[in-house]
């Protein structure tokens, strides 16, 4: 087939073709893998969410895999449970049942629909008995169990959150909150907190608040009393002055001490872990002290701080005497309290922005609900 001289030259000059073949194959495989990555997307690549002006470093990088991973609690929320639109003239719950202090203006159908939903949100195994006890239906009006008394107050709290804190809860779109936002099928929501510092009088100094690596300090050496000081006692969140020398005593004369600064860092670290973000979600990394260069999320977070302060002081802490001993804090026997992670649980929006209030207008306001025609 080939000229004799060509065959003779090949015979006299043998060549190892395996090396080049392997090299060509490796290059081909790399090209094929690169084509797949370009076509299907790299699962390990990061994406950035811009939170402020370009060129300021105000972006939040996240892994695409994490962004695509759904909150597992979403699938357990029933989105098909639609309310019954009253036709007019129906008998109301307060006229049918005894001791209905909230939700009394609901029709019988919607009242029982909401009660059934609440049992799934808070006590799916016990059902109605968790709040009413194992009694006859005629005795459901009794307030013998603390769970019923607490639940009544929690309904009022949920209505207040939806009614008064729209700027925080619905900052991006209507999502609202229900019992499920925090409880997720558990009697006691995860990520509640109790007072833990100082532990005793002998360590009442600053060392009692720092270098303890507690859950409230996110297992760091930062102060462990940030939630207590800022989300309960409503102290001013601030950091030290930029001036090298300033007259007066820090913490007493209108400016924060280094201890206040470290406590603020502890709170900010808690915020970041609660929402799964970093500092530049709210702040400009080159201008942390300039309130005019923060992101819109800073305003939403500020409202959230005020909301949590109200939740703790007006609704949760006053229930201390209602709870049994096993529901109180291990050190100070204080009532359980809420913070950002109680609702957010590591996501920027609780349940990743699922609209939980759409089918439960009864919890959207303390006023009689308005039902939309289908």
Name, in order, each residue with C-beta under 8 angstroms of 72's C-beta and a sequence gap of 6 or more: none
Q: From 333, 338, 324, select the one nearest 196 (Cα to Cα).
A: 333
CA–chain centroid gap for 100, Å, is 31
Is 240 annotated as a binding-site member?
A: no
Question: Hey, what long-range contacts does 276-284 have (CB within 8 A, 24 or more apart)?
Answer: 276/62, 276/66, 276/344, 276/346, 276/347, 276/348, 277/60, 277/348, 278/60, 280/51, 280/52, 280/57, 280/58, 280/59, 280/60, 281/51, 281/60, 281/348, 282/51, 283/58, 284/52, 284/56, 284/57, 284/58
Is 29 annotated as a binding-site member?
A: no
Backbone angles phi, psi at 161, to 5 degrees: -60, -50
Is 157 annotated as a binding-site member?
A: no
Is 187 annotated as a binding-site member?
A: no
> Which ranges of 187-238 would DSSP assign to H, the alpha helix?
226-231
> What distances in angstroms separate CA 200 from CA 150, 205, 207, 337, one per listed residue?
31, 10, 11, 21
Question: Hey, what long-range contacts does 96-102 have (CB within 8 A, 24 or more apart)?
Answer: 97/140, 97/141, 98/140, 98/141, 99/141, 99/142, 99/143, 100/141, 101/152, 102/152, 102/155, 102/156, 102/159, 102/366
Could you tell me if 271 and 225 are in contact, meaning their C-beta atoms sit under 8 angstroms apart?
no
Binding-site annotation: residue ranges: 115, 128, 131-132, 154, 168, 179, 182-183, 268, 279, 282-283, 340, 343-344
Binding-site annotation: residue ranges for heme: 115, 128, 131-132, 154, 168, 179, 182-183, 268, 279, 282-283, 340, 343-344
């Amino acid at each position: 087939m080939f000229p004799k001289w060509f065959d003779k030259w090949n015979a006299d000059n043998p060549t190892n073709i395996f090396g080049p073949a392997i090299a060509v194959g490796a290059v081909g495989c790399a090209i094929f893998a690169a084509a797949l990555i370009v076509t299907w997307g790299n699962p390990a690549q990061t994406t950035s969410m811009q939170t402020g002006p370009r060129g300021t470093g105000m972006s939040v990088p996240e892994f695409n895999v994490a962004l695509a991973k759904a909150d597992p609690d979403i699938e357990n929320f029933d989105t098909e449970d639609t309310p019954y639109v009253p036709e007019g003239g129906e008998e109301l719950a307060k006229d049918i049942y005894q001791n209905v202090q909230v939700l009394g203006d609901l029709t019988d159908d919607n009242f029982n629909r909401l009660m059934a939903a609440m049992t799934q949100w808070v006590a799916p195994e016990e059902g109605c008995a968790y709040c009413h006890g194992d009694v006859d239906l005629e005795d459901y009006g009794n307030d013998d169990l603390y769970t019923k008394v607490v639940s009544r107050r929690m309904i009022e709290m949920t209505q207040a959150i939806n009614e008064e804190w729209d700027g925080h809860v619905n900052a991006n779109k209507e999502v609202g909150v229900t019992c499920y936002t925090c409880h997720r099928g558990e009697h006691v929501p995860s990520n509640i907190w109790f007072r833990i510092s100082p532990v005793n009088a002998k360590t009442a100094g600053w060392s009692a608040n720092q270098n303890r690596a507690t859950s409230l300090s996110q297992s760091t050496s930062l102060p462990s009393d940030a939630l207590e000081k800022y989300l309960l006692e409503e102290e001013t969140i601030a950091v030290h002055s930029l001036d090298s020398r300033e007259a007066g005593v820090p913490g007493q004369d209108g400016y924060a001490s280094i201890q206040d600064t470290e406590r603020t860092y502890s709170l900010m670290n808690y915020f970041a872990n609660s929402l799964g973000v970093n500092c530049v979600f709210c702040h400009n990394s080159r201008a942390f002290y300039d309130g005019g260069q923060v992101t819109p999320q800073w305003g939403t977070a500020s409202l959230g701080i005020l909301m949590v302060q109200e939740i703790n002081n007006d609704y949760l802490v006053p229930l201390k005497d209602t709870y049994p001993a096993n529901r109180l804090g291990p050190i100070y026997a204080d009532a359980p309290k809420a913070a950002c992670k109680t609702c957010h649980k590591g996501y920027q929006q609780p349940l990743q922005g699922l609209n939980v209030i759409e089918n439960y207008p009864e919890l959207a306001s303390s006023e009689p609900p308005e039902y939309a025609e289908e």
